[in-house]
Structure 1
């Protein structure tokens, strides 16, 4: 079991808060698709024993691809790799790309799950974010997707926005619940360096939410979605009736995944690689028959800490069998676990270690405390 991630490094415009790798210059989009197909061909031999359960188009904004470009990429994966008959194919998309024509085409090409970047139902917020859609576009995108027959929809929202009150956040949550998606992802705004948002904050033009406000909005997120029947299966992800993202769940459970595209990461169980994050350099290397990658061989300590960190974010927790595969912690480590259990922040069973709802608020800190440093 494994997954395939394909990074599409293009966007219609740059969001003020985003530091992901992408370009707004689409003049070489065809050339990039050729490079992605070349990388898929080169890597196929080393992945011949794996079967993909998921294919995920992320970015950037994959919905800017033409139907021919998307068809070419899906075809290259299916022709060069073993792909499950029940493969989950996810496309991240902007609401303004979700026309009935595009949606119908995506469905015909085999896309069976959409991740729609709503972010907010407030036009003023969308404006300072420099999003390319309006609140009305977000509502129409969901309705169009449902009418086109997409049963698996995931909607993205953001909290902790400047001047956002708890009441406004609750209103946003009620709007997304009313749309009745199977899956909701909600992320706290972070101020990344080298973004327009960072510049505005430094200049005093915008004031970000305090840690207390962010915590309050996170707790409101969890309680409101729980009341509406959504299960928090990962810190930022909620699903109804077990409509989990199979692709992301595989990440959190340490499954191997192939990463294709500039800045993409891949993991084969022992090694991690990441590709050059420069579009031109990426394409040039592949034209020369070279993989534009940097490889890191993970130590036993690296694998222990990563397994712990990502596993604790989920409702399943971290498997002791997987965690202790190469390393057996000392008594002091188990004492820290017991201390957190006494504080009702985690639950230890013979098979796993799972954070409680209160513990999820402190997930990163708890994981860091339990890291083993060589």
Structure 2
């Protein structure tokens, strides 16, 4: 079974750190929705089968869609795909969008999981990040979601904010609300963002490694003490609340991406859509190509497996992987993994290679060294 991701590329304002594809102009929303519906129809045969276990509205800010617009997109999906009985249906949302009426409307549509972009429960952090909601709105959104009946909740937090001393208190807020899933991301300096411009102009400090390491260790200790499974480098869940849709990415399962900049994978090839809204809309309406694609070689697929699995607590199945490698590739892979295990960056858990906490801090480097050629 597969999942569908819908990219909704609209935001009220630009968060200073964000480099995802979005626009702060809502003028094109009315034209984008028919294009999304048309792409769903055009891509109905892309996946190995039409039975879905997840739908995910991401962005951007999908909660800028009203209930009628979400219903339109869901009905178009249901026209061409069937759903698993207990399918996960997620929408990312900003706290300031989550009114009681909106939450009730989501439940009536069958949305059963919320991913709320809180980032911090403290106003000075939120101002620093360029978020539009307040700490009060963050708490109110959680209270309203719980009161409306959402039990499958996830929130996003950002750590390593220069000068901030709130991360421990953010984790305590998470505990107080008894949130079953959360994602925590280290602040990064991404090109072409407001934050990168601010750093270049000496208006803000860049992220400091010491801050990131300190907060990451606080995060891991908190997860262990409060019975959260650290099942992916940036994701933590209580038993039974792992994100089904995002887990598919790390398990090398197929998914279909709809909308500007969305990516798709069908086990054979990868595909990515135009990341300019009006060009995407025009190409869809005129029947022209609106995506690029690449067929994955055996080496590509091996490296995809290494990259995605090593980010998870499941790790790399050593026997499975080496059965696909040449003798030369196996020799190099064993050399690298032996070094990382000896230096306590990785461990061998019953034949599965897993990053240690120390290794997670250098995951990109370690993964790159394990890639086969």
What TM-score comes out, normalization by structure 2 length? 0.95
Q: CA deviation at 1:208?
A: 2.6
2:203 corresponds in structure 1 to 205
1:38 corresponds in structure 2 to 38
Q: CA deviation at 1:28?
A: 2.3
Instruction: Name which of structure 1's ranges 186-195 and 354-363 shifts more when overlaid on structure 2.
Output: 354-363
> Could you list the runs of 5+ residues in structure 1 that have no partner in the other structure?
none
Which stretches of structure 1, 4 residues or longer, exceed 6 Å deviation after superposition?
A: none
1:301 corresponds in structure 2 to 299
3-state SS of paired residue (1:52): strand
> Could you list the runs of 5+ residues in structure 2 that have no partner in the other structure?
none
2:115 corresponds in structure 1 to 115
Given that 1:163 and 1:208 are in contact with CA atoms closer than 8 Å, whether structure 2 keeps it comes out as no
Q: CA deviation at 1:337?
A: 1.4
Go from structure 1 to structure 2 and tell me whether the alpha carbon gap of 1:204 and 1:339 turns closer, same or farther (over 3 Å shift).
Answer: same
Matched, 1:193 2:156: no
Count, aligned residues: 371
Q: CA deviation at 1:54?
A: 0.6
Q: How far apart in 1 are the matches of 2:82 and 2:68?
A: 22
Instruction: Name which of structure 1's ranges 101-110 and 50-59 shifts more when overlaid on structure 2.
Output: 50-59
1:58 corresponds in structure 2 to 58
2:239 corresponds in structure 1 to 241
1:311 corresponds in structure 2 to 309
Instruction: Give per-residue Cα distances to partners, 1:21-50, cap 9 Å, x unaligned.
Output: 111211221211110000000010233624
Q: How far apart in 1 are the matches of 2:289 and 2:74?
A: 20
1:181 corresponds in structure 2 to 179
Go from structure 1 to structure 2 and tell me whether the alpha carbon gap of 1:321 and 1:267 turns closer, same or farther (over 3 Å shift).
Answer: farther
Instruction: Give per-residue Cα distances to partners, 1:101-152, cap 9 Å, x unaligned.
Output: 0000001001000000001111122123221210000000001000000010
| RMSD between aligned residues | 1.6
Q: How far apart in 2 are the matches of 1:160 and 1:302?
A: 33
2:250 corresponds in structure 1 to 252
Q: CA deviation at 1:351?
A: 4.7
Matched, 1:346 2:316: no
Q: CA deviation at 1:345?
A: 2.6
Go from structure 1 to structure 2 and tell me whether the alpha carbon gap of 1:338 and 1:180 turns closer, same or farther (over 3 Å shift).
Answer: same
Q: How far apart in 2 are the matches of 1:100 and 1:130?
A: 25
Given that 1:160 and 1:209 are in contact with CA atoms closer than 8 Å, whether structure 2 keeps it comes out as yes
Matched, 1:364 2:364: yes
Q: How far apart in 2 are the matches of 1:28 and 1:186?
A: 32
3-state SS of paired residue (2:46): helix
Instruction: Give per-residue Cα distances to partners, 1:207-227, cap 9 Å, x unaligned.
Output: 133112211111111101221
Given that 1:154 and 1:185 are in contact with CA atoms closer than 8 Å, whether structure 2 keeps it comes out as yes
| Superposition pairs of residues 260-299 of structure 1, within 5 angstroms | 260-299=258-297
Instruction: Give per-residue Cα distances to partners, 1:303-340, cap 9 Å, x unaligned.
Output: 11121011111010123465456434332321221222
1:7 corresponds in structure 2 to 7
Go from structure 1 to structure 2 and tell me whether the alpha carbon gap of 1:326 and 1:33 turns closer, same or farther (over 3 Å shift).
Answer: farther
Go from structure 1 to structure 2 and tell me whether the alpha carbon gap of 1:117 and 1:292 turns closer, same or farther (over 3 Å shift).
Answer: same
Instruction: Give per-residue Cα distances to partners, 1:68-111, cap 9 Å, x unaligned.
Output: 11001111111111321211000000000111000000010010
Matched, 1:84 2:84: yes
3-state SS of paired residue (2:218): helix
1:24 corresponds in structure 2 to 24
Q: CA deviation at 1:258?
A: 0.3
What TM-score comes out, normalization by structure 1 length? 0.95
Matched, 1:72 2:80: no
Instruction: Name which of structure 1's ranges 19-28 and 139-148 shifts more when overlaid on structure 2.
Output: 19-28
Given that 2:189 and 2:207 are in contact with CA atoms closer than 8 Å, whether structure 1 keeps it comes out as no
Given that 1:57 and 1:91 are in contact with CA atoms closer than 8 Å, whether structure 2 keeps it comes out as yes
